[in-house]
Chains A and B, each alone.
Chain A
Amino acid sequence: MQHVSPVREPLVTGGKTYHDVTQDVCRQVEAAPNIRWMAALSVALLLLGVFFYSVYRTLWYGIGEWGLNKTIGWAWDITNFVWWVGIGHAGTLISAVLLLFRQKWRTSINRAAEAMTIFAVICAAMFPVLHMGRPWLAYWVFPLQNTFGSLWVNFNSPLLWDVFAISTYFTVSLVFWYTGLVPDFATIRDRAKGPIAKVAYSLLSMGWKGSAKHWSRYETVSLILAGVSTPLVLSVHTIVSMDFATSVVPGWHTTIFPPYFVAGAIFSGFAMVLTLMLITRVVFKLEDYITIEHIALMNKIMMVTGSIVGVAYITEFFIAWYSQVEYESYAFINRATGPYWWAYAAMMTCNVITPQLVWFRKVRYSIPLTFILSIIVNIGMWFERFVIIVTSLHRDYLPSSWAMFSPTIIDVGIYVGTIGLFFTLFLLFAKFFPVINMAEVKSVLKYTVDNGPTYTGRDPHHAPQPVTTHGVPASAPVNYDKHD
């Protein structure tokens, strides 16, 4: 008999049936673009124009267009690189780690979060490639023979590890995302009216028909990809942190960096997921799928990772004093009280204090407050990378070479431009691809419905009773009085 579980909150609200899910998600793919989407795309394209102009200046005149000097050889470029890669990590965390932990609420948000990962990694990759100065020779980072102009690459270098880590991460995330999209493309294909849409989605869906055998293999593939992506995502930001940690610069040379960077990455990534989801759910009327419960849960993850980051900041300071290394102490005192104190103050306020507000239930369940919080965390995490990179470099070994960094308009242009690139890609994705994983949401629609003992194969006791299920909305609202 079918009855409603007394302990489970529904994952999808509004009493949706399977067909409702298809309708709600396919609606914006099939409809003509609405005015708000066009307006948003125009702004994003404008910023993309800024990106192309700044890249043109960088390529034509060289990286002298940036504000770097001989003391500060890494500044906004690497700050932005780490910031974007970090943002990407939340997508993999949601799709892989939460899948392994059987967190079924992830089904409504994993598609968009994975898309965010891929677009964020594309934005991140722009910075090291442009910083090469001659990006047309970017293939020299791969192990090619020295007839191409160089010796073998140096496998001892963390920068080379980064090449392997980021390219593996990008391609694996891409196939993970695409394999998840295939069944949903098939749904759109089978509903498509126009000839162009029919052919386009037929090509994209790779001939998926949803046969039981394919689903069985699909689930195996998803599980293994999740299992392998979990250590992968941790390794990527670990290797990014080793770009700094394996150097001998005071303020960088710390063993705490890998876990600290990974926590920071997830922290900023969840902030970006929240920013995007709060907009997406309203623009595409998906409030029943991305519910207030989802927002509260993501807020909790943000609070936990934010607190880990806060502890890391304090630990760094403690060790700077406890180690009794005067250069290390100076690096940290200079960070907090030196010429870049304002960046440090911004980082501490945004990353340590604001996430603690999430302890209050009212904040966790408030959409406007969550939106503001997520923006503040994004800003704070940008400042964190800026503080780590620039304040450690600007006063290094010889006081005669101490310097200050100020960005040029081209630095700002490339950064703002990548935001344009990111939103252009995300808006195109949101219009033409299903933003919610329909197949997975359908499979959790009956999450609150308890069908009695688990199905165990050939058991004549469970005779089929079609009458009991006909017409019952699959995600029936929880009624606490009526369970047996």
Chain B
Amino acid sequence: MTKRFALGIFEDEDVLLHAVENVREAGVKIYEVFTPFPIHGIDDALGIERSRLPIAAFFFGLTGLSFALWMQIYMLGFDWPMIIGGKPHIALPAFIPVTFELTVLFCCHGMVITFYAISKLYPRWRTPVLDVRSTDDKFVMAIEVNENTDMNKLTQILRENGASEVNQKEMSKF
């Protein structure tokens, strides 16, 4: 399905930040904002909820911790107990390093895989973007429009809030 977007191009992140706030206040729904680097405070301005990735990371870490302890206790304590250096079969202090490393391993990889999965980031042959300058030096505010949208009014709102250009672009599959 083809979607049409009005693109407000901004030159500065602070101008964009205030524009996001004012445009939303004017009752316009912002589809997405594309920026070349992370802007602090834009989450609140756009109403993006705080990411729950830290919670996921904690539980991945907990999985790693439990797995590591289970693995070492099962292997050396029950499956094939051996006396090594006169130590008990389940020598917990000696199991700490591997337990720590596996906690970190599970936590990091679990979180990063979750991040790529929920953000739908995966290798693709072509990556269509609304404005190629948004990964360079421009801050792009995309607003989805249709036949009923009053383009003149929208352009005026964006211009008043500091947009240096207002463009339109059609995208199939976005």
Task: Please give the residue numbers on chain A whose beta carbons come within 8 Å of chain B beta carbons, in ascending order.
Answer: 17-19, 22, 143, 146, 151-156, 158, 160-161, 164-165, 167-168, 171-172, 175-176, 179, 182-183, 186-187, 189-191, 198-199, 202-221, 224-225, 228-229, 231-232, 235, 239, 242, 438-440, 442-443, 451, 455, 457-458, 462-466, 469-470
Contacts and interface: CB of A to CB of B under 8 A. Distances in A.
Nearest to A205: B127
Given A155-B75, A469-B11, A210 B35 contact: yes
B87 A203 contact: no
A224 B57 contact: yes
Interface in B11-30: 11-12, 14-15, 17-19, 21-22
23 contacts: A18-B36, A151-B82, A154-B84, A156-B85, A167-B105, A168-B104, A189-B127, A205-B127, A206-B116, A208-B127, A209-B127, A210-B135, A211-B34, A212-B34, A212-B35, A216-B38, A224-B54, A225-B108, A225-B112, A442-B37, A443-B39, A466-B11, A470-B12
Given A203-B125, A212-B34, A215-B39, 20 more contacts: A17-B137, A18-B36, A143-B71, A152-B75, A152-B79, A164-B97, A171-B109, A172-B105, A176-B108, A186-B127, A187-B136, A199-B126, A209-B134, A212-B46, A214-B121, A215-B37, A216-B48, A221-B115, A466-B12, A469-B15
Nearest to A464: B18
Given A168-B102, A224-B57, A469-B14, A187 B35 contact: no
Nearest to A164: B101
Contact of A215 (B12, B19, B38, B126): B38
Contact of A18 (B39, B53, B94, B137): B137
Interface in B44-58: 44-46, 48, 51, 53-54, 57
A156 B84 contact: yes
Contacts of B98: 155, 160-161, 164
A203 B53 CA distance: 25
Given A202-B126, A206-B123, A172 B48 contact: no
B125 A202 contact: yes
A440 B37 contact: yes
A443 B53 contact: no
A207 B123 CA distance: 6
A179 B112 contact: yes
A198 B127 CA distance: 9
Interface string B81-104: 010110100010011011011101
Nearest to B122: A206
Contacts of B170: none
B132 A191 contact: yes
A113 B54 CA distance: 26
B36 A439 contact: yes
Contact of B76 (A155, A167, A202): A155
B84 A220 contact: no
B165 interface: no
A347 B65 CA distance: 40
A174 to B, nearest CB: 10
A20 to B, nearest CB: 9
B101 A235 contact: yes
B32 A212 contact: yes
B39 A210 contact: no
Interface in B118-167: 118-127, 129-130, 132-137, 161-162, 164
A463 B18 CA distance: 7
Contacts of B107: 224, 228
A217 B50 CA distance: 9
A464 B162 contact: yes
B63 interface: no
B31 to A, nearest CB: 10
A216 B115 CA distance: 11
3 closest A-B pairs (Cβ-Cβ)? Answer: A18-B137, A466-B162, A464-B18
A481 to B, nearest CB: 24
Contact of A155 (B43, B51, B72): B72
A221 B111 contact: yes
Contact of A213 (B39, B40, B48): B48
Contact of B127 (A146, A156, A202, A469): A202
A189 B61 CA distance: 34
A207 B12 contact: no
Contacts of A209: 34, 127, 129-130, 134-135
Contacts of B61: 228
B62 interface: no
A38 to B, nearest CB: 29
A231 B61 CA distance: 14
A469 B12 contact: yes
